[in-house]
Amino acid sequence: MASSGIAALLLEGGCTAHSRFKIPVTGLCGSSTCYVPLNSPQAALIRTARLIVWDEAPMAHKHVFEAVNRTLQHVMGAIDPTLKDMLFGGKVVVMGGDFRQILPMVPRGTRGQIVDVSLKRFVVLWHRVKVRQLHENMRVQRLLAQGGANAVADAQQQQSWANYLQRIREGTEQVFPEVGEEVVLIPEDMCCQGDVRIYCTPSLLRYALTIKDRLQVELLCSVV
């Protein structure tokens, strides 16, 4: 399962965490629980599960994890009282994601407010998390394994794209503060060629015209 619908579509048989655990969509707070009756199919599935995989976990609000934790403790504690006080009811949960991507949404929230509702602020959970980092680009390896005339070139392009994203995540990619606080240049091989209608702010367009020949405009994008 995954925190977002788009991420769930990329998983075989995937679904969203809200769908699987019946997480409240509105009114979520620090004391919320999920709607999983003990005699429901969801509860039966939870009891038989040996592993829960949660993709894009950093996107979810800390109250989501607190609600899921209470629900799993309730469901598992009904069959074994010793599990009602264990984290996630004793279930093993593997969470995937990158805190340098999209964090929980806080309407009109400041950076501090957004960080304060992140997964890391669920202290009871985070202090017991074992962090593992992935270093091998499986998409590149898959392209090389498939072979073909363009396998190496495609793999190099994918690796170049991954390196570009990594520099943005780490804050080492060149920025243009005179245009915006977090504005970077899109690589030339990602720009559309030919007669393309581009929508951007006048200030962005004026700056683009000053850094490149007027026959070819490099589009600048703002990194959220």
Can you tell me the mean pLDDT for 96-115?
Answer: 90
Look up the pTM and report it: 0.76
Residue that terminates a domain, selected from 126, 152, 185? 126
User: Within a 10 A sphere around the Cβ of 2, how many other Cβ atoms?
Assistant: 24
Do 122 and 164 lie in one domain? The reply is no
- In angstroms, the Cα distances linking 167 to 69, 115, 117, 162 are 35, 21, 26, 9
User: Within a 10 A sphere around the Cβ of 137, how many other Cβ atoms?
Assistant: 15
| Residue 191's pLDDT band (cuts 50, 70, 90) | confident
161 pLDDT above the threshold of 50: yes
Q: Regarding predicted confidence, which is higher, 189 or 41?
A: 41
Can you tell me the mean pLDDT for 71-92?
Answer: 96
DSSP assignment of 104-149: ---TT--HHHHHHTSGGG-HHHHTT-------S-HHHHHHHHH--T
What is the rounded CA–CA span in Å between residue 29 and residue 82? Answer: 26
Do 24 and 84 lie in one domain? The reply is yes
| Residue 196's pLDDT band (cuts 50, 70, 90) | low
What is the rounded CA–CA span in Å between residue 180 and residue 158? Answer: 28
| Among 72-76, 170-174, 218-222, the least confident range | 218-222
Do 150 and 160 lie in one domain? The reply is yes
Do 154 and 67 lie in one domain? The reply is no
Pair type for strands 92-95 and 51-54: parallel
pLDDT at 59 (0 to 100): 94
Number of C-alpha atoms within 13 angstroms, CB side, residue 178? 7
DSSP 212: S
Do 11 and 110 lie in one domain? The reply is yes
For the stretch 15-34, pLDDT in tens is 999 999 999 999 999 999 99
Q: Regarding predicted confidence, which is higher, 84 or 149?
A: 84
Domain count for the chain, please give it: 3
| Residue 179's pLDDT band (cuts 50, 70, 90) | confident
pLDDT at 146 (0 to 100): 87
Do 221 and 140 lie in one domain? The reply is no
200 pLDDT above the threshold of 70: no
